[in-house]
Amino acid sequence: MPAEPKTSRGRASRERIVESAAELVAERGVHATSLDDVRAATGASKSQLYHYFADRDELVELAVGLRCQQALAGIAQLLGGVTTFAQLQKALRQMLKGYEEHPTGCPIGTLASEVVEQNEAARLHTVAAFAAWEGLIAQALNRMRDRGELRADAQPDVLATSMLASLEGGLLLSQIRRDAKSLRVALEAALSYVANFKTMD
């Protein structure tokens, strides 16, 4: 029913629409973005929207997917090079700094809670994004363990889940309270919890 573009012109149009939608959805939220908003932002016509997408839900799904991918790219850049505790600390500090500069909530978490009961396909994108995020944290912890900085009995997967939870909770509280303090405290606690598993030499 949708329509895979057959020409490069078509592909460009479709892509432009999804990118614009992702941007709108990120800054105003899924619920507050109408098809007319997308139309206005892209200069596309109504028929284009329904030529390339089955319905609003499909466009939302793709926009959420793209946004998750973009957010994940940023996170990967922060965590990709982390091999030591000091680097982990630095990465978290940068996240905090990033939040203080653009105090919107978590780009993934915000979308996730908007679509969780409304759009199953979009929800799955956010689930995948969280899994990838958690994986990046776990990999960093694994590198720290391989390096001998973390005890052998530390469980990177479990630690990664708890770190992600602290982060998300901190972001949520800070967003609602409009005060970065909660996030700062949550991050410090998460870091300090990981520090429990450091080898002592």
Partner DNA sequence: GATCAGTTGGACCGCGCGGTCCAGCCGATC
Partner DNA sequence: GATCGGCTGGACCGCGCGGTCCAACTGATC
Least CB distance to its own copies at residue 25 (A): 13
Residue 122 and residue 111: Cα distance in Å, rounded? Answer: 9
- Binder of DNA out of 19, 23, 41, 50 (CB under 7 A): 50
- Here's the x/- map for its own copies, 94-123, by CB under 8 A: it reads as -----------x---xx-xxx-xxx----x
Site mask for its own copies (CB under 8 A), range 28-47, x = bound: -x-xx---------------
Which phi and psi (to 5°) does residue 159 adopt?
-60, -40
**Residue (of 133, 147, 143, 119) closest to 62 by Cα position:** 119
Tell me how far, at minimum, the Cβ of 15 lies from its own copies, in Å: 27
Max CA pair span of the chain: 67
Q: Which is nearer to its own copies, 25 or 44 (by Cβ)?
A: 25
- Per-residue binding letters, 182-201, with its own copies (x by CB under 8 A): xx-xx-xxx-xx--x-----
Number of residues that bind its own copies (CB under 8 A): 43
Q: How far apart are CA 189 and CA 166, in angstroms?
A: 8
> Under a CB-based contact definition with an 8 Å cutoff, are residues 91 and 79 in contact?
yes
- CA separation for the pair 34, 31 (Å, rounded): 8
Residues binding DNA (CB under 7 A): 3, 5-7, 9-11, 13, 34-37, 43-51, 55-57
